[in-house]
Amino acid sequence: MSRRKFIKVSALGVGGILLSKFSSAKNEAKKPLPNRSNLIAFSPRVISTWNHGTKANEAAWKILNIGGTALDAVEVGVRVTESDATNRSVGLGGLPDKEGKVTLDACIMNHKSECGAVAFLQDIENPISVARKVMEETPHVMLAGKGAQKFALEQGFKKKDLLTPEAKKAWQKWQESEDQKKPEINSENHDTIGMLAIDSNGHISGACTTSGWAYKLHGRVGDSPIIGAGLFIDNEVGGACATGLGEAVIRIAGSHTVVELMRQGKSPNEACQEAVERIIRKHKDIKGVQVGFIAISKYGEVGSYSVYNGFNFALKDHNTEKLIDAKSVLKW
């Protein structure tokens, strides 16, 4: 490429190059999406739910920063949280169900709309990697329970007791408490990690992984492994993921809803807000029902919204590393 041509292309920016690539694609998204090409388009960027997202983003960034794929970034990123024994809501060290069993849900989705998920998986530390194997090695989208574990072991994953002494203690304490009769959602027992990344090719991928609602009924599966609820990616538009009370997210197909609202022209923030408002409308009693969404558009624009205050997400890109408080409709 001549220097002159190079300068011209550079001035257009990576976003310009990729926008023209996208604009030639025959898709329904191109008409209603507003032009936001003034944004830092297609520069790699990663966002994750809650403050545990900061560490996870660091791992994801190591991949994005050297031109790696968003898919690798989100898998490697959320594995950090899954393997963190001090985290009480994801993977190893996650709080168990009513019977004292740690049961895990996870899913992953890439820019080609390929996806994989595991639900009600036990004794495997990194369910997100099993979900990726489901996506890549099987004709299925989701494996659950014993079948998911059998598949994981066949794929070379090792069994591990995920109930740490600290989590066991907390569960024993809960068994003796009043809470056992009236389980309530709070920020301590609900904290999925959901991660969305866009790489230097403008490809978006997402991952979502959790030990779910602490002290849930044995067998309960939340939104996190359900494509369209806990996570949804459509590379023509963007991606979204959810955290909070999974039952509420599933009822409005939350992450899919956010992406479809972006397709209609809403910004990630506006789309998350409308999804949250829909959840509020669908509940006669919204008291204590916390849900938060994060979203990224194909331009790399990010946003979030939650039912109640207190939700935040971590952002990392070339220029920024910060924790952002989500706006909420209600206050605790």
Shortest Cβ distance from residue 208 to ligand ASP (Å)? 8
Binding residues for ligand ASP restricted to 211-240, rule: CB under 6 A: 212-213, 222-224
- The yes or no reply on residue 300 touching ligand ASP (CB under 6 A) is no
Nearest by Cα to 275 from 237, 229, 233, 312: 229
Cβ neighbours of residue 67 under 8 Å, at least 6 residues apart?
199, 200
Using the minimum distance from each CB to ligand ASP, give the nearer residue, 104 or 163: 104
d(CA 127, CA 159) in angstroms, rounded, equals 11
d(CA 264, CA 245) in angstroms, rounded, equals 26
Q: Are 297 and 238 in contact (CB under 8 A)?
A: yes
Count of residues touching ligand ASP (by CB under 6 A):
14
Q: Among 10-18, 158-166, 243-251, 306-314, which window interacts with ligand ASP (CB under 6 A)?
A: 243-251
Nearest by Cα to 256 from 289, 274, 281, 234: 234
Instruction: Supply φ then ψ for residue 90, to 5 degrees.
Output: -145, 130
Shortest Cβ distance from residue 273 to ligand ASP (Å)? 19
DSSP state of 88: S
Using the minimum distance from each CB to ligand ASP, give the nearer residue, 52 or 263: 52
Shortest Cβ distance from residue 59 to ligand ASP (Å)? 20
Binding residues for ligand ASP restricted to 173-192, rule: CB under 6 A: 190-192
- The yes or no reply on residue 243 touching ligand ASP (CB under 6 A) is yes
Which of the following is catalytic: 81, 103, 192, 257?
A: 192
Q: Are 295 and 238 in contact (CB under 8 A)?
A: yes
Shortest Cβ distance from residue 62 to ligand ASP (Å)? 25
Using the minimum distance from each CB to ligand ASP, give the nearer residue, 120 or 213: 213
Encoded one letter per residue, x for contact with ligand ASP by CB under 6 A and - for no contact, window 40-79 reads ----------------------------------------
Distance of CA 186 to the CA centre of its chain: 19
Using the minimum distance from each CB to ligand ASP, give the nearer residue, 36 or 283: 283
Torsion angle of C-alpha atoms 177, 280, 224, 82, degrees rounded to 10: -60
Shortest Cβ distance from residue 178 to ligand ASP (Å)? 22
Shortest Cβ distance from residue 197 to ligand ASP (Å)? 19
Shortest Cβ distance from residue 211 to ligand ASP (Å)? 8
Exposure string over 310-319, b if 16+ CB within 10 A, otherwise e:
bbbbbbbbee
- The yes or no reply on residue 129 touching ligand ASP (CB under 6 A) is no
CA distances from 298 to 54, 64, 158, 192, 252 (A): 22, 16, 37, 23, 23
Q: Choose, by CB under 6 A, the member of 53, 68, 202, 244 that binds ligand ASP.
A: 244
Q: Which two tokens stand for residue 101?
A: 């069993």
Nearest by Cα to 48 from 241, 223, 297, 222: 241
- The yes or no reply on residue 89 touching ligand ASP (CB under 6 A) is yes
Active site residue 103: no
- The yes or no reply on residue 97 touching ligand ASP (CB under 6 A) is no
Q: Are 55 and 81 in contact (CB under 8 A)?
A: yes
Q: Choose, by CB under 6 A, the member of 53, 246, 300, 303 that binds ligand ASP.
A: 246
Using the minimum distance from each CB to ligand ASP, give the nearer residue, 221 or 259: 221
Q: Which residue numbers are catalytic? A: 192
> Which residues of this chain interact with ligand ASP, rule CB under 6 A?
89, 190-192, 210, 212-213, 222-224, 243-246
